[in-house]
């Protein structure tokens, strides 16, 4: 009997934990619990940001030191010094190039022609996707800077994505390349509506709702439509056409697009303080 | 579980999440980063049996969910299943075998990633199936297989030293 009780206990534990998990998932998906989970995630992100930053500050110099030790281990002492000097100079040069690039990106982010009079908050990209299953970035501004859920994020070139999690000092942005991303767009003259969807990190975008045999040229620009109540304000450049074809028995044109913002090399972005309710 | 045990388990989970969110996120192999949080339920299942594997999977999964953009509770659900599954599948095996943690990490990680993507797509995130699930599962599994032995040692240090369900204490102790 005792043996039977022992063998049943893990199954009971499993059942309880699975039910708890399903309850959490369901409540989160239905929205009612969403505020709580969003709050929990916000607190976790705010708590974790300084830890992550501190650990990175410790680990990066150690990594550089170890890499240096391995690299120079077999070389004579004099050569070591000379090579170290060369390395330092190269690092300085690389850093200055990097700094220049960062400055260019930051400068571009601060002077975005297409946002017009809309207020923006510049931000640094502090982390790329934290999950292998979502194309997201973390940025260095949050609710304390006026950033709210669903606000659009732009960079030099065009649209980057939208805020899906706003914490106190940081925010998570879902990139337009993410499979769950959908952007209402306009293309052509006088302007037809379509929807641009992501296909995953590093992959081209695709466009839906484009009728078959629509004459599209490579390089044609797609901009946000800004439809009434839209998440994105109008006329933000999104992507350019890279290919277009009509499949056999297709009901829509098959269109692939290249995002205008370089989503794989983002250092600085701007959050547009846009409220769809009062455009 | 005493306060000391609880603090040890918390410390190990915290260490894993810190390493995951700092070191591991910076390592990219073919665009995929390692996911060492998957190791916790598997290690707990190996060391403490199905019940503890499930509990560790739920707890560490919830912690991971706090910092992930995917549906909240998904990691906890899959972690619970994987922790229980590894504990159950290895209950009759010789736990002192050198290859067992590596093999469990390899198979468990593949199952974890595949189920994660499948369930995520069912829960309204269809893009989770379009990110190269096979490549992600393979790379995560290989990384976890390499790190399996130290992970099992750490979890073994943290979990309370009592007899585990379905196996004798002497055998369970061999992995600590």
Of B29, B11, B5, the C-alpha closest to B136 is B29
Closest Cβ–Cβ partner in B17, B55, B73 for A25:
B73
Cis ω on the peptide bond leading into residue A77 (within 30° of 0)? no
The pTM of the whole model exceeds 0.80: no
Q: What is the ipTM of this complex?
A: 0.82
How far B33 CA lies from chain A's nearest CA (Å)?
A: 7
Closest A-chain CA to B131 = A200
Is the Cβ pair A134, B128 closer than 8 Å? Answer: yes
pLDDT band for B171, please (50, 70, 90 cuts).
very low
Of B129, B77, B137, the C-alpha closest to B105 is B137
Return d(Cα B60, Cα B51) in angstroms, integer: 14
Using the Cβ of B80 and the Cβ atoms of chain A, whether some distance falls under 8 Å is answered with: yes
Is the Cβ pair A10, B84 closer than 8 Å? Answer: yes
Query: What is residue A145's predicted lDDT score, i.e. its pLDDT?
Result: 92
Cβ contacts (< 8 Å) between B132 and chain A: which residues?
200
| Domain regions of chain B by residue span | 3-159
Tens-digit pLDDT profile for residues A184-216: 999 987 778 999 999 888 889 999 888 888 888
In chain A, the domains with their CATH numbers are: 112-279 (2.40.10.340)
Tens-digit pLDDT profile for residues A51-61: 877 877 777 66
DSSP per residue over A169-233, as a string? S-EEEEETTSTT-EEEEEETTTTEEEEEE--STTSPEEEESPBTT----TT-EEEE---TT-SS-
What CATH number labels B3-159?
A: 1.10.1760
Tens-digit pLDDT profile for residues A115-141: 777 889 999 998 877 788 888 999 999
């Amino acid at each position: 009997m005792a043996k039977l009780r022992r063998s049943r206990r893990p199954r009971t534990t499993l059942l309880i934990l699975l039910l708890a998990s399903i309850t959490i998932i369901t409540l989160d998906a239905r929205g009612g619990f969403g505020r709580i989970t969003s709050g929990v995630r916000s607190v976790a992100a705010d708590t974790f940001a300084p830890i992550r930053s501190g650990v990175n500050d410790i680990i990066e110099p150690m990594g550089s030191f170890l890499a240096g030790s391995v690299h120079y281990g077999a070389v004579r002492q004099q050569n070591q010094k000379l090579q170290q000097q060369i390395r330092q100079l190269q690092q300085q040069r690389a850093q200055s190039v990097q700094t220049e690039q960062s400055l260019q990106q930051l400068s571009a982010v601060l002077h975005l022609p297409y946002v017009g009079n809309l207020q923006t908050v510049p931000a640094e990209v502090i982390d790329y996707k934290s999950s292998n299953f979502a194309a997201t970035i973390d940025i260095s501004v949050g609710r304390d800077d006026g950033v709210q859920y669903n606000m659009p994020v732009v960079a030099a070139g065009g649209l980057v994505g939208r805020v899906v999690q706003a914490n106190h000092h940081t925010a998570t942005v879902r990139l337009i390349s993410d499979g769950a991303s959908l952007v209402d767009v306009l293309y052509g003259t006088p302007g037809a509506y379509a929807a641009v969807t992501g296909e995953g990190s590093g992959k081209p975008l695709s466009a839906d709702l484009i009728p078959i045999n629509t004459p599209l040229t490579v390089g044609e620009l797609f901009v946000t439509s800004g439809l009434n109540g839209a998440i994105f304000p109008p006329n933000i450049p999104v992507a350019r056409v890279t290919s277009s074809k009509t499949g056999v028995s297709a009901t829509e044109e098959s269109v692939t697009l290249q995002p205008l913002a370089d989503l794989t090399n983002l250092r600085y972005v701007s959050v547009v303080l846009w409220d769809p309710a009062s455009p | 579980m005493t306060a000391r045990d609880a603090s040890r388990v918390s410390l190990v989970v915290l260490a894993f999440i810190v390493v995951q969110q700092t070191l591991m996120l910076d390592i990219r192999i073919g665009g995929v980063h390692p996911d060492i949080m998957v190791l916790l339920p598997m290690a707990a299942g190996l060391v403490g049996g199905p019940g503890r594997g499930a509990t560790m999977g739920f707890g560490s999964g919830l912690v991971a969910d706090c910092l992930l953009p995917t549906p909240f509770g998904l990691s906890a659900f899959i972690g619970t299943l994987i922790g229980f599954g590894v504990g159950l599948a290895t209950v009759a095996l010789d736990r002192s075998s050198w290859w067992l943690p590596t093999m469990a990490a390899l198979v468990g990680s593949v199952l974890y990633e595949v189920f994660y993507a499948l369930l995520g797509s069912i829960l309204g995130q269809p893009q989770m199936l379009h990110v190269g699930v096979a490549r992600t599962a393979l790379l995560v599994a290989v990384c976890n297989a390499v790190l399996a032995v130290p992970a099992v040692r750490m979890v073994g240090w943290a979990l309370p030293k009592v007899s585990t369900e379905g196996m004798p204490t002497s055998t369970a102790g061999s992995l600590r």
